[in-house]
Amino acid sequence: MIIVMQQGASETEIRGVEARLQELGFQTHPIYGVERTVIGAIGDKRNGHAEVILNLPGVERIIPILRPYKLVAREVKSETSCIQVRGVTIGGEGVVVMAGPCAVESEVQLIAAAKAVKEAGGHILRGGAFKPRTSPYSFQGLEEEGLKLLANAREATGLPVVTEVIDTRDVEVVERYADILQIGARNMQNFRLLREVGQAKKPVLLKRGLAATVEEWLMAAEYIAAAGNHKIILCERGIRTYETGLRNTLDLSAVPLVKELSHLPVIVDPSHATGNYRMVPPLAKAAVAAGADGLMIEVHPDPARALCDGPQSLTPERFAALMVEIERVATAVGRAYYPSEGRVRKLAQA
């Protein structure tokens, strides 16, 4: 259930309600909104508990949550959660673009990609240091050396970094270097890993599983929130269907559906959804029109020589052209677009 505190409730009153709930056997998760605070209470809802809680100072009302996911439900928080990452807001009025190579291959490759992303107006650098692949003989990533290169690219460009963590044993080292921890599609229901990143201090980007329903996806997010980390970003990246024309089927209907069901911000990855760079621009624009809070796009300085997912990667020139179109679509649908420092400088010089 959700305990809605009165507008202007003091910190003492909030802590008092939390303490009483814990005495009654509930796990408590306070969520601070713009106008008021709510407390998610997970536990045994016995008769009489509601009356006791309602009489506590600062409590306005109690809302029962019928959905299996509690903390990430829209009932908990009417406004979309905003995740702050080094000055970038994900979930606000602006559309955020995360871009970069699928895999970190070398310092030269990564710095070239990072500079291209920044100059075109991207906000966050993506790149894989640990690469779970279908074949055990494929390139598996540079691991910690790749994380160090990502940190160097952040220093060189000022772009925050998002990268995937694939094992509970690697959470600590990835958190040390990255600004956002990504849980990939294959690990969406790796519940031990979800609990582990739920204890991390950094935001978590949770990709939808290969054939996961929206409810399963939100339940995976609930694992992270229940472990204590409420800084969660959802990412639709296509699901497996009967269609074989592209790698996956991008489910854009999931964007407005999830935004109706949950307060978590939602971004879209058209690169992994299609596996084809030609399909990325139209689907990226469609995602913004559908209400996505951001995009994740693969950019490589030389896709023909990429060690991972070259066919779906945009060249810096194609990415720069797409960013101009994304800005137009965002403006047309009433979403703000805040170009990065590099794009602002480039526009000023034009």
Kindly give the confidence (pLDDT) of every residue in the chain, 350 residues in length, as a single tens digit, with 9 standing for 90 and above.
889 999 999 999 999 999 999 999 898 988 887 778 889 888 766 656 888 899 999 999 998 877 889 899 998 888 899 999 999 999 999 999 999 999 999 999 999 999 999 999 999 999 999 977 677 777 777 999 999 999 999 999 999 999 999 999 999 999 999 999 999 999 999 999 999 999 999 999 999 999 999 999 999 999 999 999 999 999 999 999 999 999 999 999 999 999 999 999 999 999 999 999 999 999 999 999 999 999 999 999 999 999 999 999 999 999 999 999 999 999 999 998 776 555 555 555 55
The residues, any chain, with a CB within 8 Å of residue 277's CB and separated by 6 or more, are: 271, 303, 311, 312, 313, 314, 318
Q: Which of 62, 26, 89 is nearest to 226 (CA)?
A: 26
Q: CA 192 to CA 247: how far, in whole Å?
A: 28
Structural domains for the chain: 2-63 (3.30.70.1140), 83-349 (3.20.20.70)
Provide the pLDDT for residue 89: 96
| pTM recorded for the entire structure | 0.89
For residues 29 and 39, the answer to whether their CB atoms sit within 8 Å is yes
Q: Which of 264, 262, 261, 193 is nearest to 227 (CA)?
A: 193
Provide the pLDDT for residue 51: 84
Provide the pLDDT for residue 119: 96
